[in-house]
C-alpha cells in the first residue's frame, strides 16, 4: 500500500514537473580570449534563463554592461568600442533542446544535449548549435555549456593594433548552478 502511494506521488510530481518552467536569475557566463600578448576573461553573474521542460524551449538573456573585467580599461573598450553596449544593451539566445523528452528529472544523472537556436548580440542574430550537459542530482537541476563564437559573425571589429591582444575566437562558458521551478 505504502509503495502504491509513493508510486502515485512520484507519478504526480513527474506530471507536475513535465509541465513546469525552470528558471534562474543567477546564471553565469564567462568568456575568454586567449591571444599571444594577453588572456582576457570577463564574467557576468546575472544571466536570466527560462526553460520550458515540456517543449525543450530555452531562453537566455544578459546585459552586456554586466560583464565584469579585472581591468577597467578592458571593460571600457569592450563596452564602448567593441560591443557598443549603449546601442545594444542585451544579448539573447532563444533555442530548443534536441530530444529534450529523453531528460529524466527523477533520476540522478547527467545528460549531454544539443541546443539549436538564435544568438543575438551587437544587433546581429546567428543560428548556432551548442553542446550542453544537464545534471540532475537530488532533484536539483544544473547545466553547463562550453562553445566558441567568432567575433566576425557578430560584426565586432577589433582594430589591427590590438590584434595580438585579442583573439577573434572567443571561448564562452555557461554555468547554471541551479534551475528553480518558476512559481506564479
Partner 1 sequence: MPEESTVINMMGKRKYILVFVVLILLAVLYGIKEYNRKPTDLSKVNPEATISAVALITSFKENEATANKTFLGKTVLVNGIISEIDNENDTLVNVYLGDSTLLEKVSCSMDMTKSEEYKKLKQGQQISIKGFCTGYLQDVELNRCVIFPQKNK
- Which chain residues interact with partner 1 by CB under 8 A? 25-26, 45-46, 48, 61-66, 68-73, 75, 79, 85-86, 89-90
Nearer to partner 1, 46 or 168 (CB): 46
- Shortest distance (Å) from residue 71 CB to partner 1: 7
How many Å apart are CA 156 and CA 88, to the nearest integer? Answer: 12
Q: Looking at beta carbons only, is 24 or 53 nearer to partner 1?
A: 24
Least gap, CB of 104 to partner 1 (angstroms)? 28
Q: Which of 177, 184, 183, 181 is nearest to 29 (CA)?
A: 177
State the Cα–Cα distance between residues 144 and 113, nearest whole angstrom: 10
CB of 142 to partner 1, least distance (A): 14
Distance CA 28, CA 46 (A): 6
Question: Toward partner 1, which CB reaches closer, 59 or 98?
Answer: 59
Q: Quick one: 81 or 109, whose CB is closer to partner 1? A: 81
Q: Residue 140 Cβ, how far from partner 1 at the closest point, in Å? A: 15
**Rounded Cα gap, residues 88 and 78, in angstroms:** 12
Beta carbons within 8 Å of 143's beta carbon, 6+ residues apart: 132, 133, 134, 135, 174, 175, 176, 179
Q: Which lies closer to partner 1 via its Cβ, residue 62 or residue 130? A: 62
Compute the least distance from the CB of residue 99 to partner 1, in Å: 29
Q: How far is CA 137 from CA 54, 94, 108, in A?
A: 19, 26, 5
Amino acid at each position: 500500500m505504502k509503495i502504491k502511494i509513493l508510486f502515485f506521488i512520484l507519478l504526480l510530481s513527474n506530471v507536475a514537473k513535465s509541465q513546469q518552467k525552470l528558471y534562474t536569475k543567477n546564471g553565469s557566463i564567462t568568456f575568454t580570449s586567449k591571444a599571444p600578448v594577453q588572456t582576457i576573461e570577463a564574467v557576468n553573474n546575472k544571466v536570466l534563463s527560462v526553460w520550458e521542460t515540456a517543449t525543450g524551449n530555452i531562453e537566455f538573456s544578459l546585459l552586456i554592461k554586466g560583464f565584469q573585467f579585472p581591468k577597467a580599461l578592458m571593460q571600457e573598450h569592450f563596452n564602448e568600442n567593441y560591443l557598443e553596449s549603449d546601442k545594444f544593451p542585451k544579448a539573447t539566445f532563444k533555442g530548443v533542446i534536441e530530444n529534450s523528452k529523453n531528460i529524466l528529472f527523477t533520476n540522478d544523472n547527467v545528460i549531454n544535449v544539443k541546443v539549436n537556436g538564435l544568438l543575438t548580440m551587437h544587433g546581429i542574430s546567428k543560428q548556432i548549435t551548442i553542446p550542453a550537459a544537464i545534471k540532475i542530482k537530488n532533484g536539483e537541476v544544473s547545466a553547463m555549456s562550453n562553445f566558441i563564437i567568432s567575433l566576425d559573425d557578430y560584426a565586432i571589429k577589433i582594430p589591427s593594433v590590438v590584434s595580438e591582444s585579442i583573439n577573434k575566437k572567443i571561448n564562452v562558458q555557461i554555468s547554471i548552478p541551479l534551475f528553480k521551478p518558476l512559481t506564479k
